[in-house]
Amino acid sequence: MIQINERSMVPIYEQIVQAFKELIAKGALREGDKIPSVRELSAQLLINHNTVAKAYQELERQGVVASQRGKGAYVAKPAEEPGMERERVRQLRAELRRIAVEAHHLGIGSRQLADWFGEEIQRYGRDEHADRPQST
């Protein structure tokens, strides 16, 4: 389900957050699906439970999962919390700026970057959201 790269410069909790988001984007996890408990996932990945708890807190803060006391955590409806979508779009734009700067320093042109981005969009089948309102 989730794999961690211990040699990555990306903190483990962020790898977990990204992995869950990818599973949801690919349709492997859907709204209402229960995700493993902190204890289960930490045992499965052989990492500290506090790291998993931090990832779950971040997923909940972003509105990706919702916790039900005594029942566990579940995949949430998209943009469940008012204003959360706007903040996540802002963060996405900031990440795109960071990627554009990195591409510039690596000598990667806009056409190549656009092609790669298009491939990733197709991988997750999200072209139907192309006409969503934009915010900065």
What confidence category does residue 62 fall into, taking pLDDT thresholds of 50, 70 and 90?
A: confident
Reply yes or no on whether the pLDDT at 49 is more than 50: yes
- Which residue, among 87, 28, 43, 96, has the nearest Cα to 62 in the 3D structure? 87
Asked whether the predicted pLDDT for residue 84 surpasses 70, the reply is no
* HEC secondary structure over 56-100: HHHHHHCCCEEEECCCEEEECCCCCCCCHHHHHHHHHHHHHHHHH
- Average pLDDT score over residue span 119-124: 82
Whose tokens are 């790291």? That residue is: 51
Span between the terminal Cα atoms of the chain, in Å? 33
Domains and CATH numbers, the chain: 12-75 (1.10.10.10), 84-129 (no CATH)
For range 81-91, the mean pLDDT:
71
Q: Which pLDDT does position 40 carry in this prediction? A: 95
Question: Would you give the DSSP letter of residue 133?
Answer: P
Confidence of residue 83 (pLDDT cuts 50, 70, 90): low
b (16+ CB within 10 A) / e for 50-68: ebbebbbebbeebbbbbee
**Tens of pLDDT, residues 13-26:** 999 999 999 999 88
pLDDT at 80 (0 to 100): 47
